């Protein structure tokens, strides 16, 4: 079920790099803050610091939008806010629907930042009949039966999925069929969508796991104090495991009855726990493209 495509054809030539697009909102936020303080201009250095990025990167990002700065001075805050907003398509109104009004969906509906920048919650949809009509964040929840009419009726092109994982794909299909072409998915599932539909995913579980990885690495580093070289000290190495079936560690996992959550495999598996190799740190997108 390969999810949708990831990159666009060649039409990209004139486009703005994805990495840059992902940072524009960040710049916009920093600029908005400056705007509120009536700061007239900012240098790439200052703005970069506020946005938490490298100034060269910021300048290059802006260069994709055009030459909006003034050498020797910096960038006009108001003007840049406008340009970025326009580039991101925030100068128009985007009706959004949230499907699955449970814990998360309700929280999202109540989120103020939602409507603050061109996004408007057009409707809240849930499959639970008991929820129908019930107001959440000032908006009456509507039943899934009306999903299609809501989408087409309001010209919604962005949908947020906050249903259980099991219902996500189904909801996704209906949204797409009704005309939605951009989806923000909170359910822990890989959504399959036709070409032309963008899917971005927010997965708390994955974020935590990535943090755990680094956390473990940090801890491991501390223990290996006495280790001389950092190069070749793996452990019951991969290469070695080859050849001998019997060498495979006895899995602490319960044979085939393990249902539910993954087995919390035996704690530190002997050698394993020891020094983990360290890896680059840095990061990865919290959200991934479809």
Ligand X SMILES: NC(=O)c1ccc[n+]([C@@H]2O[C@H](COP(=O)([O-])OP(=O)(O)OC[C@H]3O[C@@H](n4cnc5c(N)ncnc54)[C@H](O)[C@@H]3O)[C@@H](O)[C@H]2O)c1
Distance CA 29, CA 50 (A): 9
User: Is position 104 an interface residue for ligand X (rule: CB under 6 A)?
Assistant: yes
Q: What is the closest distance, in whole angstroms, from the C-beta atom of residue 140 to a second copy in the complex?
A: 18
* Binding-site string for DNA from residue 215 to residue 244, where x marks contact by CB under 7 A and - marks none: -----------------------xx--xx-
Q: What is the closest distance, in whole angstroms, from the C-beta atom of residue 79 to DNA in the complex?
A: 11
Name the token pair of 38.
Answer: 């009536």
| CA dihedral over 14, 19, 22, 26, signed as positive or negative | negative
User: Is position 165 an interface residue for ligand X (rule: CB under 6 A)?
Assistant: yes
The one segment of 56-64, 72-80, 165-173, 275-283 that binds ligand X by CB under 6 A: 165-173
Instruction: State phi, psi for 74 to the nearest 5 degrees.
Output: 130, -150
Name the token pair of 131.
Answer: 């929820």
Among 187, 191, 193, 199, binds ligand X (CB under 6 A): 187
User: Is position 201 an interface residue for DNA (rule: CB under 7 A)?
Assistant: no
126 binds, among ligand X, a second copy, DNA, none (CB under 5 to 8 A by kind): ligand X
Across the beta sheet with 287-289, the strand order is: 135-136, 139-143, 119-126, 94-99, 158-161, 182-185, 198-202, 287-289
List all residues 6 or more positions away from 66 whose beta carbon is below 8 Å from its beta carbon: 83
Distance CA 47, CA 29 (A): 10
95 binds, among a second copy, DNA, ligand X, none (CB under 5 to 8 A by kind): none
* Binding-site annotation: residue ranges for NAD(+): 100-105
Q: In sequence order, what DSSP letters do the residues of 160-174 get, joined into one string?
A: EE-S-HHHHHHHHHH
Among 141, 160, 276, 290, binds DNA (CB under 7 A): 276
Binding site for DNA (CB under 7 A): 6-7, 10, 12, 17-20, 42-45, 53-57, 59-60, 62-63, 67-75, 238-239, 242-243, 268, 271, 273-278, 280
């Amino acid at each position: 079920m390969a999810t949708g495509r990831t990159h666009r054809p060649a039409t990209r030539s004139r486009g703005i790099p994805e990495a840059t697009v992902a940072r524009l909102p960040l710049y916009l936020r920093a600029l908005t803050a400056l705007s509120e303080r009536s700061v007239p201009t900012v240098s790439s250095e200052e703005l970069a610091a506020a946005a938490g990025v490298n100034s060269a990167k910021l300048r290059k990002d802006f260069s994709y939008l055009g030459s909006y700065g003034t050498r020797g001075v910096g960038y006009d805050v108001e003007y840049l806010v406008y340009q970025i907003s326009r580039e991101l398509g925030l100068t128009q109104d985007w009706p959004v629907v949230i499907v699955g009004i449970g814990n998360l969906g309700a929280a999202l509906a109540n989120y103020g930042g939602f409507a603050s920048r061109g996004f408007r919650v057009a409707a809240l949809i849930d499959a639970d009949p008991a929820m129908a009509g019930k107001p959440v964040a000032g908006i009456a929840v509507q039943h899934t039966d009306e999903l299609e009419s809501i989408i087409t009726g309001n010209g919604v092109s962005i949908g947020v999925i906050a249903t259980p994982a099991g219902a996500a794909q189904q909801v996704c299909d209906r949204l797409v069929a009704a005309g939605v072409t951009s989806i923000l998915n909170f359910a822990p599932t890989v959504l399959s969508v036709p070409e032309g539909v963008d899917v971005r995913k927010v997965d708390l579980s994955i974020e935590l796991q990535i943090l755990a990885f680094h956390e473990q690495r940090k801890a491991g580093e501390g223990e290996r104090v006495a280790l001389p070289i950092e190069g070749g000290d793996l452990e019951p190495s991969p290469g070695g495991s080859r050849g001998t079936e019997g060498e495979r560690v006895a899995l602490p996992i319960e044979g085939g009855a393990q249902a539910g959550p993954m087995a919390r495999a035996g704690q530190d598996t002997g050698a394993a726990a020891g020094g983990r190799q360290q890896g680059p740190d840095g990061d990865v997108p919290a959200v991934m493209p479809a």
